[in-house]
Amino acid sequence: MYLLEIEPRALEEIQQAIDYYDEQQPGLGLKFLTALEKEFSILIDKPKFQIRYATVRCLKIKRYPFMVHFSIENEIVRVHAVLHTSLTRSN
């Protein structure tokens, strides 16, 4: 099992997404956070997803248009960003 570290920038992006979804419908931000936490549990168990950018790997959040951008350093999964898929580009 890996340790999970979330960079401050990613925490800000998560909070912005939660705030946005809560503005759309009360409680929807919590549903987004729950979905994100499920993906984080996958990452700490089996983080070997495809490398997309140099050493950065990506994992799509189910049912939401966001991707978790992360790297693996020793036994640590470091989350660099949680971005809306319209802000990302594929290689």
Q: What's the whole-model pTM score?
A: 0.87
Which residue do the tokens 């319209």 mark? 86
Instruction: Quick: pLDDT tens for 61-81.
Output: 999 999 999 999 999 999 999
Length of the chain: 91
Sign of CA dihedral 91, 51, 6, 85: positive
Q: Does domain 3-87 have CATH number 3.30.2310.20?
A: yes
- At 19-64, the pLDDT tens digits run 999 999 999 999 999 999 999 999 999 888 888 888 999 999 999 9
Per-domain residue ranges for the chain?
Answer: 3-87
Mode of pairing for the β-strands spanning 76-84 and 51-53: unpaired
